[in-house]
Structure 1
Amino acid sequence: MAVELFLQILKAESIFGKYPLCITTSDIVIDSDDVDADDMTIECYDFVDPYELAVAVVDNVESLPIVNVGGEELISDFYNSVVKVNQKYKNKDTFVSVMPMSCCANRRNVVEYSRRPQHATIAFVAGITASKLVNYKRIITPSDIIEDIKRELGLDIDYMKAWRAKESALKMLRGRPADGYKKMPTYVYMLNSIYPNSHIRMHKSPDNQFMYLFVALQPFIRGFGYYRPIVVVDDNHMRGPYQGTFVSASILDGAGHILPLAYGVVDSENNLSWMWFFQQFKCAFSERNNMCVVSDRHESIIKAVSVIYPCIPLFACIWHLWKNVCTNYRKSKDKLTGEFFAMAKAYKLDDFDELMCKVGKIDNRVKAYLENVGFEKWSRVHAPINRGRMVTSNIAECINSCLVEAREMSILDFFEQVRILFGVWNRKNRDRSSFLSKKSLGGRFQQILQLNEAKSSRMMIRESTNYIYDVYEEGRKYIIRLDNRTYNCGRFQLDEIPCEHAIVVLKSKHVKEMKSYYSDYYKKETLVKTYEMSLCPMPDKQDWHVPPEVFEDVLLPPKYKRPLGRPKKGRKKISEKFSSTSNHCGKCGYEGHNRRTCNYFLKKM
């Protein structure tokens, strides 16, 4: 009723709006006939409750210095210079105007008054923190947020409020994780539009839930045909609320740089997911001669490769194999480190057998374990095809390490960050290949060639025929045959780069151009062709134009129940073949007993 009365008076006289309005919630009816709009006077009513204020409108009268409302005196004079204890002011503006007057009149420097303590809400802290979380690689912890709020605003917040503020800020920047799955059909459509002739497949369950996604872009498919087909595969777990596993396949180019081939996300590391991944990989890249796969010896990868590629050998990463040895034979790991890696990288069979005899003398159990695995799985000299220098899965681990922070993002943003990372690598490798001279090799292999040239200056040679030479190095003789390019040191056959023994022979024959003696994989022409097709950028999400049927495609996030407790940030790596659940003996390394009851070594009398 009071509001209706105010509106009626305001229609009659607009100047009425400058006066303060006091509205009561009491059920009192004021008849509009009692209001005289001409003299702008409203009669005051006496209320029973002293805290309820009446409306007072004074026409043609200046503001009173003291207003009596509800039995209490309120100061409204802006020029009042007398400030006393327990004074009450009409409003905040009056108080702000009076305090400087009082300070000047009484020569005071500081005026103290009570103030209600302030608290920072979660939304307020999230708004301040959001700008610092735009870069997903920047690590901001709740402790950092607590320090920033204390330093900038002088407010104290607890750890839980800082953590919730960070989660709220991330939600404002990235949206809900489930929204990323809804936009995946649109993202797949845009990838096919920007990169035609690519192989991009997405698989979902009968309930329209996301299961697998495979991405092999056309620039990577084109570059695969120019290099040795040694494919390294690996996986890594996602950290989002719906988990999942990131899988990738890559090779090395002629300069020793990583060339990604395919990547994707599957539900978990199991037989079905790896089987589906290798099926899509075979559709995109087919099968080449002398092709092989290097992995960490996971059982699902072994089974998938044996089914999809029955004629392709599967090699083990020597680093993961050595971790198994360290886990199960801890007593001998310090003594066998150098021998193991020397065996894996040996060029000659005689050198390998000599090192294996040393391993058997140190710990025969390790020798039996390596024989059980199979020498052809991890030794370069026993491999049925030429593995080159690819004896580990480090290039796949390098990809995983570059995407550690991105794995916490939604699936759509994660795939976009992977594409951006590979695009940056593609551009850098293309620039490096364009600056190479025609006589030099690519990056890493040019350094190997220069090192071999430096070693060749200390060797002696003796010519047997026009194509057969004897090379002497530190009392040892090597036979070099230039006609069929076979050297008994074994390095040229595996590396396909002239070794130091071949270089000293070629220099004696005054051969300055050695381009015909190393593989085409390392030449500039091959590098230029590999990165001839660039990885074009994706348009902004607001500029994505897709047909209506793509919008209507329903994709739901996978079912996932978040485990109890704090999410684990680190990855606990365990051996792929054996599990270490019981105690080991400190003397022999066997399980089931300790040092006191060990009878493996004979006691000294």
Structure 2
Amino acid sequence: MAKKDIICIVSSRYKAVFLKINSSTTILDLKFDVAERLDLPYESLILAYEDETVGSLKFSIENDGDLTSMVEHCHNLGLKEVHMQAFKEGDDSSNKQENEQVRQDIASSSLNSKNIDCGPSALWTTSFPDKNPNDNPSEDDVMTIDGMINRSERHGNNAGQSRASRRFIATQLQPTLKVRPDIRPIDVQKEFLSSYGIRVDYSKIWWGKERAQEKLYGDAHESYDQLRWYVEEVKKTNPGSYIHVEQNEGRFTRLFICYAACINGFLYGCRPLLFLDGTFLKDRFKGILLSAVAYDGNQGIFPLAYCICDQENNVNWKWFLQGLWSILYERPDPYNPPHKLVIISDADKGIREAVREFFPDSIHSRCVLHLVENFRTKLKDLGFKSKDTQILGNLLQSACYKYTRAEWNDYMDDIRLVDERAYNIVMNYAPENWANAFFPGVRYGHVTSNVAESFNKWIHEARLLRILQLVEHIRKQIMVRMNERRTMAESWNQFLCPKAELALKENMENGRPLEVRQSHTGLFEVQSHRSCQVDLDNKTCTCRGWDVTRVPCKHACASIMFMKRDVYQFCDWFMTVEAFKKS
């Protein structure tokens, strides 16, 4: 327990909870915690401090000043424990003053122009309209704010009226946003209607939420202005990081961030494989976050770099990929990967053109899930039945994972048997861009951009914040993740990372009973359900399992064990624990 903390016992009838408070605790935080844990309505909650040192007097704790005075009073008396009581409005006749104050808050008019923010000016290169924003509400289940609004009061008299002020809405939303930063104005609007029986304009709730966020996270405009300071601080405290803010006549346009630990980790410990994707931001000015994510040796997410811009288009993707090229190749020790850099993404919205311009020697691969989705959409447009669309999509997705062209052709024949038009659509997709059997590079078995989408979910909370808080939130996430990876690696005593170790041992077990014949120094013929040729010198097998995953397949394992050599020495560097520790 911190030196200045005080144990606070809050009771309500037959229930009580322990809380820790200090001079920095706010009345909103305290009331929210009490309301949530004692199942009391936040809006009608009243707190009283019981001071036994002066004859068991009760002091009403109504604001931050009261709470701070109580804490200082306890410190002066050397008390480490205080007792408070929680009441619901109306349970105690002595609380009339509090009741009246709440009613005045409800009745305060939202038409008072002195309390109204006039709206943001555009900070992006594209302009934003003055109309109320649309947050595109989804059908996701959203936690209600019962703890914020008293469901039992004011339901009948105010129906159809809009009398709750923006200040009042902001006050109620502030503690809620701490635990539910993603709550939508549309949900708050519904709660006011069901709880208060009043209809509040969407715009008023939106601005109320903006005020609450401003109290919590600061002014949105100021957050952009502070980016210049943030860039200098990162360069000063984290040498080797690449961070750049681009402006147009003093207005923010784009931000690129890649920390030194991410650059070095990718160059020296990750596969030469990148996943690109974009996701929407949900702060006041919206925007897009473009990301480049990799896999570490244990198949974990490894964030490399990201960019914040106004929209996902060809210009912004080129700017982002130019930054990626700089951190990978404009270095004193240029990165020369053992295989060509492979970039996996959805090929839409300008990514393909940007990759061709800045990474001409790389190999671009389409995300199979996006390709299958596009395929099914085209089938529906042609009038295919839903059942046939599903079957054909599954066949296409399965074909992508097959290692050999013979297996791939089997699935293509099945698609052609269903409908020739579907087959023609597939062939127009250029299989060398997505099918394992034809892909010219090494994707280590990855054919989707799921890792990039996992990254988007990982930063979900950050996407709701002001831009300065957003970048700091992501920095802290990366820092914590790096430390967790370091701690995890210290406990590993094997040569390979656990997931690579598991795959290799499974292939070794499956390869033990296979019949092996040596045809040359490093060439072998291995008999399983079909005959396969293994080339240990070039680390290939005609089953193409070794070629695609870079883990020795069962045929290769059988050949290596036949020669009584160390199987682990035939695994790629990126799968080793040593490489993981460098990433």
- TM-score if structure 1 supplies the norm length? 0.62
Tell me how far apart the structure 1 counterparts of residues 328 and 523 of structure 2 sit (CA, whole Å): 41
Tell me how far apart the structure 2 counterparts of residues 363 and 314 of structure 1 sit (CA, whole Å): 29
Alignment-derived partner of residue 220 in structure 1: 262
Contact 1:137 1:406 in 2 (8 A): no
> Which string of whole-angstrom CA distances, capped at 9 and with x for unpartnered residues, describes residues 228-252 of structure 1?
2221111112222222211111111
Contact 1:453 1:500 in 2 (8 A): yes
Shift in Å, 1:508: 4.7
Alignment-derived partner of residue 176 in structure 1: 219
The equivalent position to 2:312 in structure 1, one of 255, 269, 272, is: 269
Task: Name stretches of at least 5 consecutive residues in structure 1 with no aligned partner.
Answer: 1-109, 531-605
Tell me how far apart the structure 2 counterparts of residues 140 and 270 of structure 1 sit (CA, whole Å): 27
Alignment-derived partner of residue 201 in structure 1: 244
Tell me how far apart the structure 1 counterparts of residues 415 and 243 of structure 2 sit (CA, whole Å): 47
Secondary structure of the equivalent of 1:118?
A: helix
Contact 1:200 1:213 in 2 (8 A): yes
Contact 1:274 1:301 in 2 (8 A): yes
Shift in Å, 1:222: 0.6
Q: 1:145 to 1:172 in 2, by over 3 A?
A: farther
> Which string of whole-angstrom CA distances, capped at 9 and with x for unpartnered residues, describes residues 391-434 of structure 1?
11111111112223332321111111221222222222222222
The equivalent position to 1:127 in structure 2, one of 156, 162, 171, is: 171
Shift in Å, 1:194: 1.7
Contact 1:133 1:140 in 2 (8 A): no
Look up the equivalent residue of 1:463 and give its one-letter code.
R
Contact 2:516 2:558 in 1 (8 A): no
Alignment-derived partner of residue 578 in structure 2: 525
Alignment-derived partner of residue 442 in structure 1: 497
Tell me how far apart the structure 1 counterparts of residues 361 and 561 of structure 2 sit (CA, whole Å): 42
Q: 1:384 to 1:477 in 2, by over 3 A?
A: closer
Alignment-derived partner of residue 80 in structure 2: none
Shift in Å, 1:269: 1.5
Alignment-derived partner of residue 21 in structure 2: none
Larger radius of gyration between Structure 1 and Structure 2: 1
Question: 383-392 vs 520-529, which deviates more?
Answer: 383-392
Contact 2:262 2:303 in 1 (8 A): yes
Look up the equivalent residue of 1:449 and give its one-letter code.
L
Tell me how far apart the structure 1 counterparts of residues 190 and 314 of structure 2 sit (CA, whole Å): 46
Shift in Å, 1:208: 0.8
Shift in Å, 1:528: 1.0
Q: List aligned pairs for 1:477-496, cutoff 5 A.
A: 477-496=531-550
Q: List aligned pairs for 1:25-424, cutoff 5 A.
A: 118-121=103-106, 122=165, 123-124=167-168, 126-135=170-179, 137=181, 139=183, 160=201, 165-205=208-248, 207-226=249-268, 227-286=270-329, 288-289=336-337, 290-330=340-380, 331=384, 332-424=388-480
Secondary structure of the equivalent of 1:225?
A: helix
Contact 1:461 1:505 in 2 (8 A): no
Shift in Å, 1:128: 4.7
Secondary structure of the equivalent of 2:492?
A: coil
- TM-score if structure 2 supplies the norm length? 0.64
Point out which structure has higher relative CO (alpha carbons under 8 A, 6+ apart): 1
Secondary structure of the equivalent of 1:231?
A: strand
Look up the equivalent residue of 2:544 and give its one-letter code.
G
Q: List aligned pairs for 1:542-553, cutoff 5 A.
A: none
Contact 1:129 1:145 in 2 (8 A): no
Q: 1:431 to 1:334 in 2, by over 3 A?
A: same
Contact 2:193 2:199 in 1 (8 A): no
Contact 1:232 1:396 in 2 (8 A): yes
Look up the equivalent residue of 1:271 and give its one-letter code.
N
Q: 1:478 to 1:126 in 2, by over 3 A?
A: same
Tell me how far apart the structure 2 counterparts of residues 240 and 175 of structure 1 sit (CA, whole Å): 12
Contact 1:199 1:215 in 2 (8 A): yes
Alignment-derived partner of residue 554 in structure 2: 500
Secondary structure of the equivalent of 2:350?
A: helix
Q: 1:302 to 1:485 in 2, by over 3 A?
A: closer
Contact 2:257 2:306 in 1 (8 A): yes
Shift in Å, 1:125: 5.5
Q: 1:484 to 1:409 in 2, by over 3 A?
A: closer
> Which string of whole-angstrom CA distances, capped at 9 and with x for unpartnered residues, describes residues 458-509 of structure 1?
x431434575544343x42333344544322111122221212233344455
Secondary structure of the equivalent of 2:463?
A: helix
Check if 1:451 corresponds to 2:493. Answer: no
> Which string of whole-angstrom CA distances, capped at 9 and with x for unpartnered residues, describes residues 266-292 of structure 1?
121122211111111111112644112
Shift in Å, 1:329: 0.8
Tell me how far apart the structure 2 counterparts of residues 309 and 505 of structure 1 sit (CA, whole Å): 37
Tell me how far apart the structure 1 counterparts of residues 530 and 363 of structure 2 sit (CA, whole Å): 35
Tell me how far apart the structure 2 counterparts of residues 184 and 204 of structure 1 sit (CA, whole Å): 11
Tell me how far apart the structure 1 counterparts of residues 321 and 534 of structure 2 sit (CA, whole Å): 42
Q: 1:462 to 1:224 in 2, by over 3 A?
A: closer
Alignment-derived partner of residue 567 in structure 1: none
> Which string of whole-angstrom CA distances, capped at 9 and with x for unpartnered residues, describes residues 498-541 of structure 1?
21223334445555x422121111011111111xxxxxxxxxxx
Tell me how far apart the structure 2 counterparts of residues 393 and 128 of structure 1 sit (CA, whole Å): 40
Tell me how far apart the structure 2 counterparts of residues 273 and 426 of structure 1 sit (CA, whole Å): 28
Tell me how far apart the structure 2 counterparts of residues 267 and 195 of structure 1 sit (CA, whole Å): 27
Contact 2:342 2:442 in 1 (8 A): no
Tell me how far apart the structure 1 counterparts of residues 190 and 315 of structure 2 sit (CA, whole Å): 46
Q: 1:139 to 1:428 in 2, by over 3 A?
A: farther
Shift in Å, 1:132: 3.4
Contact 2:376 2:393 in 1 (8 A): no
Look up the equivalent residue of 1:514 and give its one-letter code.
V
Contact 1:442 1:522 in 2 (8 A): yes
Structure ranking higher in strand proportion: 2
Secondary structure of the equivalent of 1:404?
A: coil
Task: Name stretches of at least 5 consecutive residues in structure 2 with no aligned partner.
Answer: 1-92, 107-164, 330-334
Tell me how far apart the structure 1 counterparts of residues 399 and 190 of structure 2 sit (CA, whole Å): 54
Tell me how far apart the structure 2 counterparts of residues 462 and 275 of structure 1 sit (CA, whole Å): 51
Contact 1:232 1:295 in 2 (8 A): yes
Contact 2:192 2:200 in 1 (8 A): no
Q: 1:325 to 1:144 in 2, by over 3 A?
A: same
Q: 1:213 to 1:166 in 2, by over 3 A?
A: closer
Q: 1:340 to 1:189 in 2, by over 3 A?
A: same
Look up the equivalent residue of 1:477 and give its one-letter code.
S
Q: 1:424 to 1:136 in 2, by over 3 A?
A: farther
Contact 2:366 2:434 in 1 (8 A): yes
Tell me how far apart the structure 2 counterparts of residues 252 and 404 of structure 1 sit (CA, whole Å): 20
Check if 1:471 corresponds to 2:526. Answer: yes
| Amino-acid identity (%) | 24
Tell me how far apart the structure 1 counterparts of residues 480 and 178 of structure 2 sit (CA, whole Å): 20
Q: 1:406 to 1:188 in 2, by over 3 A?
A: same
Tell me how far apart the structure 2 counterparts of residues 301 and 467 of structure 1 sit (CA, whole Å): 41
Question: 306-315 vs 164-173, which deviates more?
Answer: 164-173
The RMSD of aligned alpha carbons is 3.1
Tell me how far apart the structure 1 counterparts of residues 265 and 294 of structure 2 sit (CA, whole Å): 10
Contact 1:174 1:410 in 2 (8 A): yes
